[in-house]
Each structure stands twice: as C-alpha cells, then as structure tokens.
Amino acid sequence: MKKYLFILLALCSQSAVFAQGGSLLDLLGEEEETEFTTNAFKSSRVINSQSMEMLQVGTLDFRILHRFGALNQGYKEFFGLDQASMRMGFDYGVLPNMSIGIGRSTSKKELDGFVKYRILWQSKGKRNMPLSLIWVSGMTYNGLPQPLSQPDVEVTFSRRLAYYHQLIIGRKFSDRLTLQLSPILVHRNIVDNILVPNDLFAVGFGGRCKLSQRLALVWDYSYLINRFPANLQSNPLSIGFDIETGGHVFQLHFSNAIGMNERAYLTDSNDNWLKGDIRFGFNLSRVFQVKKNKI
Amino acid sequence: MKKSVVFTVLCLGLLFVSHETWAQQKYFTKSGVIVFDAEGKLDDIEEIKAKTTTATCVYDEGTGNFEWAVPIKSFVFASSLMQEHFNENYLESSKYPKSTFIGKVEKPSAVNLSKDGTYPVKVNGKLTMHGVTQEVSVDGQFIVQKGVISANSSFDIALKDYKIDIPTVVFMKVADVAKVKVNANLQALKSK
C-alpha cells in the first residue's frame, strides 16, 4: 500500500517538474524560413549603372540626375556648375522581381526605357542563395534633329536607336559591403565609322561600403573591352556618397562620365580623371508609394 | 489480492483525475496580431502604422508564464519605404531579428480559460526589442467566448527606452511613444 502511494506521489511530482523546465516558446518548435537580402544598395542605381537592388512593388521612383561641367575649368565656369546636363526619369516596381523605367536626357535629347528582372535573389535560411542575378534590357532613342555625324546619311527611325542588355551578378557580403559585377552589351544601329564597333562590350564593377546608417560610399567603374579608339579614351569611373534622408536618397559624386543612361555613359567620350576633367554630379531619388500595401 | 486490485484501479483513477484537474494546460498561437502606431504630431498625410499576423506566444495556465516572440521583418507598412526604414534604420532587423516578451500573469488562478467570461489581467515581464531589454507591466484581458479563447492588450512603448533613434529631420513625424495593440486567439497546446 505504501508502495502504491509512493508511485502515485512520484508520478504526480514528476509531471509537475516536467512542466516547468525550459522556455515555453521552445515547445512550439521553430520552422526555418528563407530570409531574402534587402538593402544591398540604397537605390536602384550604383551611380550610373543599375544596381542589384529592385524597387518594391507599387512604388514609383522619381529620379532627377544632374551632371555639371569639369571642375578644372576654374572659377570662370564656377568649377563646372554653370553648365548642367540632366536626366529626368520615372521607375516603377511592377512585381517583386520586375521594374520598368523611362527617362529623358538633355544630352542628345535622348529618350530611354528599360525592363529590369531579378532572376535570382540572394537569400539565406531555408533557401540559401549566395548571390543575386538581375537582367536589364533597355533601349535609347536619339531625339536630335540631326542625330548622325554624316549629313549625307538618311536619318531613319531605326538609326536613332540603340539597345543594351546587361547581367548583374551581385552579392551583399555584409551590412557594410556590397559588390557587383555587370557584363553589358550596347548595340548601336549606326556608328560614326567602320572602326567603331556596333556591338560594344563592357564589364561594370560597382560597390557600396556603408559608413553609417544614412551614409554610404559608392563606386562605379566600367571597363570597355572593344572601344575604338581605346587608347585615347577613358573608362567611366564615378565615386560618390549616398545620403539618405527619410524619403529621399541623394547620390553626390564625382565622375568623368557625362551620360546618364547606359548608351551614353559607355559610348560617349568620357574625360580623363588624371587630367582633372572630373565633374560633380548628383542623383536625387524620391520614392512614392503608388499602390499601398495592405495592412 | 482483490483488495489490492481495487486499490490499484483507484490509484490509477485518481492519477487520471489528478491529471485532468491539476494538469497545467498550455495555450499557444502562431498567428498573433500586433499593430503599432507611431503617428507623430506633424504628419497628416502618411500614417505610420504597421501590422504583423505572425506573432507566436505560449501561455501556461498553471504558472501564469506568458511568452511572446515576433519577427521584426514580418511587420507590414502601407508604404514600402517606411517598412524599409523601419527595418534598416530604426529596428535594425538584420542585427535584431526578433522581439520577445517573457512575462508572467499576476494571479493566474483567477483566470479560468475553460469557462466563458472576460478576465482582466496584469502581465509583468521583460520586453526585448532592438537588443534592449526593459521591465514592463501591461494590462490586458483574456476573453473566453463559446470556448474560443483570445488574449488582448494595448500599451505604449517609448522608443527612446529601446535606443531607437529618430533623426531630427523626421522627429516630428514619428511619435516618441508608439501605441501597441496585441490580439491573439489561443489554442490548447497538445503535449507531444
């Protein structure tokens, strides 16, 4: 009889002890989830080239870009600020992995449009993906009354056009560092002479180093593979800072490139950094939520 | 022999009865709703409001222990940009992915979740957010209606207490004190 009582007591106390150990939340067990990498860059552009960052669905990015004259013109030209070239553009996030955009540049009165699609999205957790892969295809239209250098060549619609296709391979290594590599092909329907290639290949090297919560150092360089005349021209290099202030992102930078779309900054002649032909420029990005998220 | 069999049956019976009545039932949810509102003085256009529906919690009826966890990235804002700032600049969700509350209901014996009714409670515990832990005490209630158990509460959080810095440019837009509303439908947790 005592034995039974003892067993009874033991059983009761055991269940009581069992109920108290460990965290309650551990009882639920946790499912591992996929965590997608966000904020690899502050903006959808490194400086001139597209970044591995996509716009969120339903957001409209109004972008105003300025490039000033060369700094080494001195005070007479107020270090280049007296001259300005600009591009105004609208980008829109259609799907989580797809954005579209249009823009108009003062230089060559050029219109441009692009489609950007994210094929792979860097993630960790349940689905582990070391990098993001993004495809961009775009088109430009030269709007000058006389777009061609030879006056005897007939101006047709197709001769005003150029296309570009780009693959962006990017990785956010840490909160601080993001790097990307972006091979690009620019095709111009007509070029100045037989030595200038219609198909121009280049490789972009872009990156970001975050300095603080609102400030980041960014750089953007493109190596042109088959440009003519390669020995006389410089590859576009831009270095700047991304400054975030709530709704706006300011990208302030110095660059030897004048163009603000892929055709322009890659194929138009760029200045030489070493000679001091550097220009100040800025990109201003203001994001509007057109389609509100449901909460 | 007969006596001992009867006694065994009695003992086992008692054992079951004791488990039925004294067993400390636990309740849980994986779809708790948390809404917070940090609407400042100067902002009439955009509402600074977010909601998650994937908060998890477990409540132990016997001890009164009440534990919560919520992934910061699960909060959805009407504006994606605001959501980005919330994660990237304010809550730093990649560094501090979760917010937790480990607390205890005062006088849990006053709450009988197997009986319909409204049971106001006070919950004391530690709230961890943005890597900072603070002692908090909040009022809430359990509501049992036709066997459906829900727990809800609303309380305020001073952002400063959790080292969430609102930059001077936007400080008038974001309130110093965020209003938080919590609501969860609880289910009995079956022991595995």
Q: How far is B78 from chain A (nearest CA, A)?
A: 4
The predicted structure's pLDDT at residue A22: 61
Q: What is the pTM of this model?
A: 0.80
Task: Give B189's contacts in chain A (Cβ within 8 Å).
Answer: 27-28
The predicted structure's pLDDT at residue A50: 96
Please tell me which of the candidates B66, B73, B189 has its beta carbon nearest to residue A27. Answer: B189
The predicted structure's pLDDT at residue B175: 80
Percent of chain B predicted with pLDDT > 90: 49
Q: What is B26-188's CATH number?
A: 2.40.128.110
What average pLDDT does range B2-7 have in this prediction?
A: 64
Predicted confidence band at B15 (pLDDT cuts at 50, 70, 90)? low
The answer to whether the Cβ–Cβ distance between A293 and B78 falls below 8 Å is yes
Neighbours of B69 (CB within 10 A): 21
Give A111's Cβ-side CA count (13 Å radius).
Answer: 7
What average pLDDT does range B107-135 have in this prediction?
A: 92
Which among B88, B100, B170 is the top mutation candidate for probing chain A, defined by the most A β-carbons within 10 Å of its own β-carbon?
B88
Task: Give B60's contacts in chain A (Cβ within 8 Å).
Answer: 19, 24
Which among A289, A290, A291, A294 is the top mutation candidate for probing chain B, defined by the most B β-carbons within 10 Å of its own β-carbon?
A289
The predicted structure's pLDDT at residue A16: 45
The answer to whether the Cβ–Cβ distance between A247 and B81 falls below 8 Å is yes
B133-150 per-position pLDDT tens digit: 999 999 999 999 998 999
Please tell me which of the candidates B102, B169, B173 has its beta carbon nearest to residue A245. Answer: B169
Residues in Cβ contact with A46 at an 8 Å cutoff, skipping those fewer than 6 apart: A180, A204, A206, A207, A208, A218, A219, A220
Please tell me which of the candidates B18, B76, B80 has its beta carbon nearest to residue A12. Answer: B18
Please tell me which of the candidates A33, A175, A289 has its beta carbon nearest to residue B94. Answer: A175
DSSP chain A: -HHHHHHHHHHHHHHHHHTTSS-GGGGG-----EEE---SSSSSBSSSSB-S--PPTTEEEEEEEEEEEEGGG-GGGGGGTT-EEEEEEEEEEEETTEEEEEEEESGGG-EEEEEEEEEE--EEESS-BS-EEEEEEEEEE---SS-SSSTTSPP-TGGGEEEEEEEEEEEE-SSSEEEEEEEEEEEES--SSTTS-SEEEEEEEEEEEE-SSSEEEEEEEEEESS-TTGGGSPPPEEEEEEEEETTEEEEEEEES----SHHHHHHS----TTTT--EEEEEEEEEEESSPPP-
The predicted structure's pLDDT at residue B19: 45
pLDDT at B25 over 90: no
φ, ψ at B14 (rounded to 5°) = -60, -40
Task: Give A18's contacts in chain B (Cβ within 8 Å).
Answer: none
Predicted confidence band at B42 (pLDDT cuts at 50, 70, 90)? low
Q: Is the ipTM of this complex over 0.95?
A: no
The predicted structure's pLDDT at residue A229: 79
Contact A111, A56 (CB under 8 A): no
Query: A293 to chain B: nearest residue by CA?
Result: B78
The structural domains of chain A, with segments of one domain joined by +, span: 106-280
**Separation between Cα atoms, residue A118 and residue A128, nearest integer Å:** 16
Please tell me which of the candidates A4, A23, A59 has its beta carbon nearest to residue B81. Answer: A59
How confident is the prediction along chain A (295 residues), in pLDDT tens digits per residue? 556 655 555 555 444 444 444 678 888 777 778 889 988 998 999 999 999 999 999 999 999 999 998 887 788 878 878 888 999 999 999 999 999 999 999 989 999 999 999 999 999 988 999 999 999 999 999 999 888 888 888 999 999 999 999 999 999 999 899 999 999 999 999 988 888 899 999 999 999 999 988 899 999 999 999 988 777 788 999 999 999 887 788 999 999 998 999 999 999 878 888 887 889 999 999 988 888 888 7
The answer to whether the Cβ–Cβ distance between A293 and B102 falls below 8 Å is no
The answer to whether the Cβ–Cβ distance between A59 and B80 falls below 8 Å is yes
Please tell me which of the candidates B19, B58, B73 has its beta carbon nearest to residue A24. Answer: B58
**Separation between Cα atoms, residue A92 and residue A98, nearest integer Å:** 9
B58-71 per-position pLDDT tens digit: 999 889 999 999 99
pLDDT at B171 over 60: no
∠ at Cα A140 (A139, A144), nearest 5°?
A: 160
Give B182's Cβ-side CA count (13 Å radius).
Answer: 23
Contact A25, B67 (CB under 8 A): yes
Task: Give B170's contacts in chain A (Cβ within 8 Å).
Answer: 246
The predicted structure's pLDDT at residue B34: 95
Task: Give B89's contacts in chain A (Cβ within 8 Å).
Answer: 213-214, 244
The predicted structure's pLDDT at residue A281: 93
Q: How far is A87 from chain B (nearest CA, A)?
A: 23
The predicted structure's pLDDT at residue B114: 87
Task: Give A289's contacts in chain B (Cβ within 8 Å).
Answer: 78-81
Contact A200, A267 (CB under 8 A): yes
Task: Give A44's contacts in chain B (Cβ within 8 Å).
Answer: none
